[in-house]
Structure 1
Amino acid sequence: MHYAPCLYGTVAELQGSASSNPLGAVLARVSGDAMNTKRMSRRGFLSGLAGIGAASALVACVPAAPAAPSDDAAGMAPADEAVVEIVMFDRNVVQDLEYRKELAERFNAEQEGIQVTVDVIPQGYDQTIMARIAGGTAGDAFRHASHFGMSKFTTRGLLQELDEFVALDDYDLSVFIEGPLSSNRVNGKLFALPVNGHAGHAGLYFAPEIFADAGVDLPTEDWTYDDLRDAAAKLTRDTDDDGKSDSWGIWFGAWYQANLTLVSAHDGWPLNEDGSQATWAEPGAVAGMQWIQDMYHEVEALPVMADSAAKQQLWSSGKLATALSGVWEGAYLGDITPEGLTFSLVPGPKGPTGKRGGFAGCNNFPIWSSSEHPYETFQWIKYLSSQEVGVEGIGRIGEPGLRYDVFEDPSVANDPLIIPHFQVLKDVKPFPAPHNGRDSEVIQATAPLLEGIYLNELGAQEGCERLQETIQEILDMPPVEAA
C-alpha cells in the first residue's frame, strides 16, 4: 500500500521575496515571530511543492481552449480513422506506476479507438508538471489528489470541466461516496473523478498484546479522545529503567493534514464552507490543537514531532501501542509488525459531540484543459474509477476505490482492516480548499505556526489566533489568476 505524501513548498523561498510579494511578507513575519526555526515537521512532507509557488509564473500563459467532445456519442474514433493517443503522467511510485501501466494495457486491449500511455516523472513531480504545462508537453491527464489542492489549477483555467461529459455519457455519479466526489468540485463544477483514496488519518491501529501486557482494555468503536488519552498515558513506559520513556502509547502525525483528524473530531475546521474565511480561532479548532499539545507535553505519550520513519521504527520494535493513521498503514505497519504482535484496527475515536475526525483524501487524474482529446481521456478516467479497479486496487496499491459498491463487495465488506475506514469516509468533509486558489500558500504559512504549538513555543489558543490572522490575510488576497 502507498500513500503519496502531500508536497508543498518551503517558507524560506517566499520569505525571500517579502519586499515584492505580499505572501512573502506574511510568511516572513509568521516564521520570524513564532520561532527561530524554519525546519518542516515531516521529512519531505512539506518541502516538494515549492515549484507550485515558484513555477506560478510559468503558468501565466493562457492554456488552449478546451476541445469539444466529438460528435460520436461514444467518444471513440471510427475504425477507419487514426487511433486517438492519450498520455497520462504519473508519480514515480513503483507499485502505483506498475499497476496503472497494467491497467492501460487492459484498457487498450478492450477497445480499439483509444490508446493510453502512462508516462512517469522520475523526480521533482510538481515542478516538472508545471513546467510541462508552460511548455505544452503535459499530455492529457496527470496523477493528482484533491488534498494536494484543486483550486490552484482551476483558478488558472488549467483543468477541463467534466460536467458536460458526464451528461453526454449519462454517467452515474451517485455511485461515488459524497465527500470524495465533492472534493473534486470547485465552485460547483466537477474537475475530476474520485478514483481511490482514504478518510485521512482516521483509523486507530493498535497491538492488542501490548495492551494486555500493560493491563489496559482494548480500544473499541465507542472510544472517545478522553479514552485514548488515558490509555496512551498507561501504555507509555520506561522498559529499561533508565528514567526515560522508550515504549510509547500513541503516534500521530505532526503536520496539517494529520491534524485535520484531531481538529474536526473536536468540531473544528480550518476554513468555512466556501473557503473564504479562516476558522482557526473557533473553539473546536483550539480544542483539537490543545489535545495535540497536551499529548506531547502533559501526558508525554509520544516523542514530540516524531515522523513517519520514527513511527515505523517504534512499531517494528514492538515499542508503539497505537497509531492514529490511515488505510495506507496496511503496507507500512502491517508489513513490519513484529512476531508475537497483531496488527489491529478500529475507527478513530469520537470527539466531544460524537464526531470522528478526518477528511476525504481523494486521489484523482484531472484532465488538462489543453488536452486535444479531453472526451476520449474521460473514457480512460472512467475506467480507472470503475468498481472492478476500485476493489482490485486495495490489494495492488493499498487504497480502495471511492464508490459505495466497492465497499459492498464481499471481499471488502468483510475486511477488518478496510471497513473501519469506510465508516469514517461516509461522514468526513472534503479537504479544505481556499476560494482563491492559494492552497500552497496556506499550507506554507500554516506549517511554522503548527510547529510552534507542537514545540510548546506557542500555546494552543495563541497559536490558533495567529493561524486565524495569518491565513485570513492569504484568503483576502486576489485569486492566483489575478496575482
Structure 2
Amino acid sequence: MRQHQLNRREFLRLSSAMGAVTLLAACAAPGAAPGGEGATGASQEPIVLRLHMRAGGETSEPAIYVHRPREFTEETGIQVELDPIPAGEYWAKIETLAASNTLGDNMFTDNKNWQHNRAVHFGLIQDIDDFMEAEGISHDEWLPGVIGACIVDGKTYGLPKTGHPAHAYVWINHDMFEEAGIPIPETYGSTWEQYREWANLLAKGDPDQRTVYGFHMPTNNIQMIVNGIRTFGGWELNEEGTASPIDEGWRGFIQTAYEFYQVDKIMPTAADIGSAGTVGLFAAQKLPIMVSSRGTNKSVREAVGPEDGSGGNFRWSAIALAEGPNFNGWGSSLNTHAGTTQSKHKYESFLLTYALSDARFAYLNANEIGYLVGRANELEEIGPAAEDPFIQLQFNQYAKGVPYRIGANYRGLEWEQIIVNTTDLVYLGEREPDEAFFTELETALQELLARPI
C-alpha cells in the first residue's frame, strides 16, 4: 500500500502516464504548449474543478473545504471552486444540474437516505478503479466497512470523506451518576438494561412532568433507527433491498423506546426538549445520559467544558453505545466528494476525491475538527489528535461499521418518513407496540419498496 501526498512533479508524471496531454498543457509554464519544441499557441487556462457541497461547510469544516483544497492547489496547480448549496435543497439541485448536463466536477454525497447509490444508479458518479490502479491506491487504506460503502456492484464510486457510525456514542454526567450511587461505566460493555436502570435512578420529578429526564436517543433520526435495529440483532432491509422484515431487531428497539417514553417516562419527547436541544439539557444537568453522533462531543466540550471538570463544571465522558448479543455492526454513514460523470476533467476530479480522503486530509480533519475519515491506519496518521480518548473511541466504533443496506428503488427519504411517522404514534402513546402495529408497519414499508425507482 502506498501513502500519497501528490506533489506537482508527481502529478505531471502521472498525467503523462495517463496520456493526459491537455492536462500537461494546463499545468505547464505560461505560454507552453503540449506539442514540444516548435509548438505555438496562447497560454492555457488553469484547470478549475467545481465542487458541489452543502452550504456552511466552508465555515464549520474549514479543514475540509478551505485548508485541504488550498494545499491541493499548491501541490497540483489545479484550482478548486466551491459551489455551496443549502442542505435542504442539495439533492434536488444536484438532480436539476444533472438533467441539464451542467454538473460540476466533484460533488458531496451521502448515503443515509440512499442518495449516493441513487446517484450511482442514474450515472452521475464516475467509477474510479482504473485511476486507483494507475496510482497504486488500494482499498486497504480504509476500514472495510467504510470503503465498502463506496463499492457498488464491484466498482468504486468516490472515496470516503468519512464513513462514520453516527449514533454510536453515549454521553454521561459523572457527577450525577455518583450522586445517585451509580458506578461510572467503562467505555465499552454497557447494556440497554443498564440504561433503563440508570435512567430511572437519575430521573427526577413527577413522571408526567419531569424536572430531570434520565435518558435520550433521537428516535426520529434514521441513523439512530438503523443502529438501534442492528444493536438488537436485526437488519433494516433484506440484502436485496426489496423488503424490511420486522424482525427481532425492529421489535426490540421499538419496544425499548416505548418503555423509555411511555412506561417509565424517563425520555423526553421533542416537545419536552424544546429550543435548548439535548446538549442544552445535558449542560443544565437535566439530562444525564444521551445518545448522539460524533459532532456532539465538540458541542459538549463547548457547553460544559473539559471532561475532567477543570473548567468549573461537572465531569463527563463519552462511552460506546450498547451492542447487544446479536449485534450486526453500526451503519457506516458514508460521505464522499465523488467525481461526476459530467466532468471534463475526470482524472483531475479523481485526484481531488483522493486528496479529500488521504492521510493528510485525515490529519487536518482530526486535529481541526475532531472527526475521523475511517482510514485503516488513521491513529498513526493524525499526530497529536490520536491521544484524544474520544478520537480513540471513534476509531474503534468506525471499525465496527457495516455498510447500510440500500433499498432497490432508492426511496430512502420516503422509507425514513414512514418509519418515523408510524413509530411516533407508539412513542407518543397513541398506539401499543403490539402485533397489529408491527404488521401495519411492515405492510407500509413493503408497499413503498414495491414502488418503481
Asked if residue 77 in structure 1 is aligned to residue 24 in structure 2, the reply is yes
Q: Which amino acid aligns with 2:24?
A: A
Alpha-carbon deviations, 1:219-241, whole Å to 9, x = none? 22221111111111111112xx8
Alpha-carbon distance change, 243 to 327 in structure 1, aligned in 2, over 3 angstroms: closer
The residue matched to 2:314 in structure 1 has which SS? coil
Alpha-carbon deviations, 1:148-189, whole Å to 9, x = none? 422221221222112222222221110101111111222332
- Give me the whole-angstrom Cα distance separating, in 1, the residues matched to 2:426 and 2:208: 26
Q: What residue in structure 1 maps to residue 339 of structure 2?
A: 367
The residue matched to 1:417 in structure 2 has which SS? helix
- Give me the whole-angstrom Cα distance separating, in 2, the residues matched to 1:289 and 1:182: 28
Aligned-pair identity (%): 23
User: Is the Cα contact below 8 Å between 1:151 and 1:435 reproduced in 2?
Assistant: no
User: Is the Cα contact below 8 Å between 1:312 and 1:333 reproduced in 2?
Assistant: yes
- Give me the whole-angstrom Cα distance separating, in 2, the residues matched to 1:242 and 1:166: 58
- Give me the whole-angstrom Cα distance separating, in 2, the residues matched to 1:336 and 1:389: 27
- Say which of 144, 148, 165 aligns to 1:178: 144
Q: What residue in structure 2 maps to residue 471 of structure 1?
A: 445
User: Is the Cα contact below 8 Å between 1:146 and 1:364 reproduced in 2?
Assistant: no
User: How many corresponding residue pairs?
Assistant: 406
User: Is the Cα contact below 8 Å between 2:207 and 2:264 reproduced in 1?
Assistant: no
- Give me the whole-angstrom Cα distance separating, in 2, the residues matched to 1:92 and 1:385: 20
Q: What residue in structure 2 maps to residue 119 of structure 1?
A: 83
- Give me the whole-angstrom Cα distance separating, in 2, the residues matched to 1:175 and 1:459: 47
Structure 1: 5+ residue stretches without partners: 1-68
The residue matched to 1:107 in structure 2 has which SS? helix
Q: What residue in structure 2 maps to residue 59 of structure 1?
A: none
Asked if residue 213 in structure 1 is aligned to residue 187 in structure 2, the reply is no
The residue matched to 1:251 in structure 2 has which SS? coil
User: Is the Cα contact below 8 Å between 2:64 and 2:361 reproduced in 1?
Assistant: no
Deviation at 1:212, TM superposition (A): 0.9
Deviation at 1:375, TM superposition (A): 1.5
More divergent stretch after superposition (307-316 vs 71-80): 71-80
- Give me the whole-angstrom Cα distance separating, in 1, the residues matched to 2:318 and 2:183: 14
What are the equivalent positions in structure 2 for 1:143-154 lying under 5 Å apart?
Answer: 143-149=108-114, 150-154=116-120
CA RMSD of aligned residues (A): 2.5
User: Is the Cα contact below 8 Å between 2:374 and 2:395 reproduced in 1?
Assistant: no
Q: What residue in structure 1 maps to residue 300 of structure 2?
A: 333
User: Is the Cα contact below 8 Å between 1:101 and 1:117 reproduced in 2?
Assistant: no
- Give me the whole-angstrom Cα distance separating, in 2, the residues matched to 1:366 and 1:405: 22
Q: Which amino acid aligns with 1:416?
A: P
Q: Which amino acid aligns with 1:234?
A: L
Q: Which amino acid aligns with 2:444?
A: T
Q: What residue in structure 1 maps to residue 235 of structure 2?
A: 269
- Give me the whole-angstrom Cα distance separating, in 2, the residues matched to 1:283 and 1:445: 19
Asked if residue 310 in structure 1 is aligned to residue 277 in structure 2, the reply is yes
The residue matched to 2:210 in structure 1 has which SS? coil
Alpha-carbon distance change, 271 to 243 in structure 1, aligned in 2, over 3 angstroms: closer
The residue matched to 1:365 in structure 2 has which SS? strand
Asked if residue 198 in structure 1 is aligned to residue 164 in structure 2, the reply is yes
The residue matched to 1:441 in structure 2 has which SS? helix
Q: What residue in structure 2 maps to residue 254 of structure 1?
A: 219
- Higher share of residues assigned strand: 2
Asked if residue 87 in structure 1 is aligned to residue 50 in structure 2, the reply is yes
- Give me the whole-angstrom Cα distance separating, in 1, the residues matched to 2:407 and 2:354: 27
User: Is the Cα contact below 8 Å between 2:372 and 2:395 reproduced in 1?
Assistant: no
- Give me the whole-angstrom Cα distance separating, in 1, the residues matched to 2:237 and 2:389: 33
More divergent stretch after superposition (160-169 vs 84-93): 160-169
Alpha-carbon distance change, 100 to 436 in structure 1, aligned in 2, over 3 angstroms: same
Q: What residue in structure 1 maps to residue 6 of structure 2?
A: none
Q: What residue in structure 2 maps to residue 37 of structure 1?
A: none
User: Is the Cα contact below 8 Å between 1:356 and 1:424 reproduced in 2?
Assistant: no
Deviation at 1:99, TM superposition (A): 4.3
Deviation at 1:413, TM superposition (A): 3.8
Alpha-carbon distance change, 373 to 463 in structure 1, aligned in 2, over 3 angstroms: farther
Deviation at 1:71, TM superposition (A): 6.6
- Give me the whole-angstrom Cα distance separating, in 1, the residues matched to 2:374 and 2:208: 47
Q: Which amino acid aligns with 2:204?
A: R
Asked if residue 244 in structure 1 is aligned to residue 216 in structure 2, the reply is no
Q: What residue in structure 1 maps to residue 309 of structure 2?
A: none
More divergent stretch after superposition (71-80 vs 224-233): 71-80
More divergent stretch after superposition (320-329 vs 158-167): 158-167
User: Is the Cα contact below 8 Å between 2:145 and 2:332 reproduced in 1?
Assistant: yes
Structure 2: 5+ residue stretches without partners: 1-13, 34-43, 306-311
